[in-house]
Amino acid sequence: MKQQPAQEVRLDKWLWCARFYKTRALAREMIDGGKVHYNGQRSKPSKVVELNATLTLRQGNDERTVIIKGITDQRRPANEAVELYEETAESIEKREKMAQARKLNALTMPHPDRRPDKKERRDLMKFKSGGSE
């Protein structure tokens, strides 16, 4: 992967190139929504990224902290895109703990196999309202 040292790349474009988001528009939306912090602060999509800067990204339930290790303005295959950043050890550990907690929560509160039918829904509504009808 060839990189030019004096290359200026916008934050939204870098996030798209590093394959954090599927489109630049989605990356821009996440930055504007406050889901992406550059060096600990909210920023604009037009912010020029620098090497060794810290990014904090929220994606669904996960929060990642990554350090920028490479800059490119072309979207490359995923195995090349992971070379553009390095996730911190604390971030990996925190994501694994959260995933384990979600898994345990799913085991303690399982979802029913099917939706309740009309009679069961009426009974549930009667039960929730206190049974007085």
pLDDT at 133 over 80: no
Question: How high is the pLDDT of residue 131?
Answer: 67
pLDDT in tens, 68-81: 999 999 999 999 99
pLDDT grade for 97, boundaries at 50, 70 and 90: very high
pLDDT at 67 over 90: yes
Asked if residues 19 and 81 have their Cβ atoms less than 8 Å apart, the reply is yes
d(CA 99, CA 132) in angstroms, rounded, equals: 42
pLDDT at 132 over 90: no
